[in-house]
Amino acid sequence: MSKSTMNPGPITLDVIGLELNAADRRRILDPLTGGVILFSRNFANRKQLAKLTADIKKLRPDALISIDHEGGRVQRCKTDGFTHLPAMGKLGELWMAKNKSMHLAESAALAMAAATACGYVLAAELRACGVDFSFTPVLDLDFGRSGVIGDRSFSRDPQIVFALAKSLNEGLRLAGMANCGKHFPGHGWAEADSHVAIPVDERSLAEILNDDAKPYDWLDLSLAAVMPAHVIYPKVDHLPAGFSNIWLHSVLRKELGFEGVIFSDDLSMEGASVAGSVTKGAELALAAGCDAVLICNRPDLADQLLSNLKVSKTKLAQSATRLNRLMPQSKSLPWNDLQEETQYLHALGLLRQLKLIQ
């Protein structure tokens, strides 16, 4: 099969550095690869990033190039002209009328406008450098318990999270980028960090569905992708949500009617270790309902996965169909043209006026 006729496979993996090496190229060309996720180590400046993404696309035009770029402390590109966006919690604070001279309805409208501006700036700048997709927004509720979530969350209130996430998603859409709600059904209550531990949330299914999962329900068709949490909810299933048929099929697909892409969280994280080997984890995630699995920061495990993972033709076709929907459908503006675009300048102006960016 030539690279021109390939369809995206179910594995999203990373690359080592600022440019592709031979091992990166081999992994990207593997038929099981469907996407490449970039990190801070892959960014030095805009010119370098644009060349890296172009080189990836030359190898695999069908590969979805993604990044974790939320704003605040989770933003991979912060220099050489990139706008350092605020943590999403700042938008929640704006909504709650911290300025006492402002009525709640006015502050809520401003917060939603700011969220749309953030989404537009985020997507337009990334797309100008060849990045297709960002894993944002965070839909977790801020219970004040989870250090790894914290101000990445819009709010404790699911209605505010829904409204601001919908507004952010609209900004992404206007700039030609899809969205990804995370971490389903909610990582905000569990105190442990799933990067280094196995978080447990002891609440009931009813409690979670009536609170944490509400933004997923309300966002409905405007949600393009979802990433489940590496959190165990023992009153629902003994497996973390990303490996659970109950959470992904029975709840997310059937009860909430979600039809978009489901990405696993990173299989190299400690929260995924309960599944066993990386191959076993990928098999469990895909069987539970994931369309794609992430393996990051461990090229040795990526090689294991590419060598050992077996996926049926039916599953491959289903995943490829969904993944292709996340590809930008419009042409992006080159960086220099973007700097003169009215919508981009208006978005930056609003964020500066609200003192959300420098």
- What number is the average pLDDT over the span 14-35? 97
pLDDT at 147: 86
pLDDT at 335 over 80: yes
Q: Compute the chain's Rg from CA coordinates.
A: 19
CB 37 within 8 A of CB 76: no
Write out the DSSP string of 331-358. PPPPHHHHTT-HHHHHHHHHHHHTTS--
Phi, psi of 56 (to 5 degrees): -65, -45
Active site annotation includes 265: yes
Query: How far is the C-alpha of 218 from the C-alpha of 257, rounded, in Å?
Result: 11
pLDDT tens track for 227-265: 999 899 999 999 999 999 999 999 999 999 999 999 998
Tokens of 310: 């077996």
pLDDT at 4 over 60: no
Give the residue, 272 or 151, on which the prediction is more confident: 151
Query: Which residue range(s) make up the domain with 237?
Result: 83-295+321-353
pLDDT at 342 over 50: yes
pLDDT at 46: 98
Q: Which of 212, 265, 266, 291 is catalytic?
A: 265
pLDDT at 58: 98
Per-residue pLDDT band at 101 (split at 50, 70, 90): low
Residue 24 counted as domain residue: no
pLDDT at 6: 73
Write out the DSSP string of 1-14. --GGG----SEEE-
CATH code of the domain covering residue 167: 3.20.20.300
Tokens 């909504």 belong to which residue? 95
Neighbours of 342 (CB within 10 A): 7
pLDDT at 284: 94
Q: Which of 195, 217, 249, 303 is catalytic?
A: 195
Query: Nearest Cα to 305, choosing from 8, 22, 27, 21?
Result: 27
Residue 137 counted as domain residue: yes
pLDDT at 2: 45
Residue 9 counted as domain residue: no
Q: Look over the chain and give the mean of its residue pLDDT values, rounded to a whole number.
A: 94
Query: Nearest Cα to 266, choosing from 244, 300, 286, 296?
Result: 296
Residue 189 counted as domain residue: yes
Residue 1 counted as domain residue: no
How many structural domains are present in the chain? 1
Active site annotation includes 230: no
Residue 27 counted as domain residue: no
Using alpha carbons only, what angle is made at residue 301 by residues 196 and 51, rounded to the nearest 5 degrees? 95
pLDDT at 93 over 90: yes
Residue 263 counted as domain residue: yes
Q: Is the bond into 31 cis (omega within 30 degrees of 0)?
A: no
Residue 8 counted as domain residue: no
pLDDT at 196: 66
pLDDT at 272 over 70: no
